[in-house]
């Protein structure tokens, strides 16, 4: 066989091997579901999170299923931005909210808290804390005996990796504990 026939055969074989990958990709106009397991909050509500299109961007739809009152209750609420690194605390559900600013294409990440109740979701995000660096980690120490949740946020900044320590007691804001700490 000539070199041109061998090269043509290889190109056809490569095309046929890669063809299934081309067909399995979704269009960019349709948001993907978030790959997050459902979360059970401190009231026994089961929460599901899904990215949905909103006018002017993408939002996160939160669906709640509850059997707390002895009967099945459901609620759905849509919040702006995409939620990631979703964690459960005693006082709230915490997540990193990424939202594209209207004036630029840059994401503006925030730590958010959703304070749920038995069978209910809040109409708006309960509390927000802007993040100054590139987000890397979110850990929660759940409150005990009516205290506040302690939230650890790892970020990269111009001065290197740092950890912010915040508390949240169910109010409309986070409380910063001290200043940022260099991460080793």
Domain assignment of residue 65, yes or no: yes
Read off the pLDDT of residues 123-172 as tens digits, 9 standing for 90 and up.
Answer: 999 999 988 778 888 999 988 887 899 999 988 877 788 888 999 998 88
For 65, phi and psi rounded to 5 degrees? Answer: -125, 130
pTM for the full predicted model: 0.74
Name residues whose C-beta falls within 8 Å of residue 148's C-beta, 6 or more positions apart in sequence: 91, 167, 168, 169, 175
Question: Out of 26-35, 73-82, 95-104, which region has the weakest mean confidence (pLDDT)?
Answer: 26-35
Could you tell me if residue 44 is inside a domain? yes
Give me 93's structure tokens: 């559900």
pLDDT digits (tens, 9 = 90+) for 34-93: 445 799 998 899 999 999 998 878 899 999 999 877 778 899 999 999 999 999 999 999
119 within domain boundaries:
yes
How confident is the model at residue 36, as a pLDDT? Answer: 59
Task: Note whether residue 138 is domain-resident.
Answer: yes
Distance (Å, whole) CA 64 – CA 71:
14
Does any domain span residue 21?
A: no
Say what the pLDDT of residue 167 is.
93
Average per-residue pLDDT for the chain:
78
* Mean pLDDT to the nearest integer, 99-120: 78
Q: What is the DSSP letter of 11?
A: H
Q: What is the pLDDT of residue 56?
A: 79
Domain range for 68 is 26-182
pLDDT above 50: residue 17 = no
* 7: confidence class by pLDDT, cuts 50, 70, 90: very low
Q: Which helix (H) or strand (E) holds 65?
A: strand 57-66
Total structural domains in the chain?
1
Q: Is residue 143 part of a domain?
A: yes
Is residue 59, in this structure, part of any structural domain at all?
yes
Predicted local distance difference test score (pLDDT) of residue 73:
85
Cβ neighbours around 170 below 10 Å, total? 16
**62 within domain boundaries:** yes
The pLDDT of residue 9 is above 50: yes
Quickly state the pLDDT bin for 183 (edges 50, 70, 90).
Answer: low
């Amino acid at each position: 066989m000539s070199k041109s026939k061998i090269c043509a055969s290889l190109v056809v074989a490569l095309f046929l091997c890669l063809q299934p990958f081309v067909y399995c990709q979704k269009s960019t106009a349709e948001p993907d579901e978030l790959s997050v397991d459902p979360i059970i909050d401190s009231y026994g509500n089961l929460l599901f999170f899904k990215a949905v299109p909103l006018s002017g961007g993408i939002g996160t739809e939160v669906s709640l299923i509850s059997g707390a009152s002895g009967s099945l209750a459901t609620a759905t609420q849509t919040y702006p931005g995409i939620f990631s690194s979703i964690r459960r605390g005693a006082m709230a559900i915490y997540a990193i909210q990424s939202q594209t600013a209207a004036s630029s294409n840059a994401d503006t990440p925030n730590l958010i808290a959703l304070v749920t109740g038995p069978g209910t979701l809040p109409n708006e995000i309960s509390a927000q804390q802007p993040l100054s660096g590139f987000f890397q980690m979110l850990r929660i120490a759940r409150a005990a005996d009516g205290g506040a949740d302690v939230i650890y946020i790892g970020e990269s900044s111009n001065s290197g990796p740092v950890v912010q320590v915040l508390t949240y007691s169910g109010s409309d804001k986070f409380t910063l504990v001290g200043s940022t700490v260099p991460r080793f």
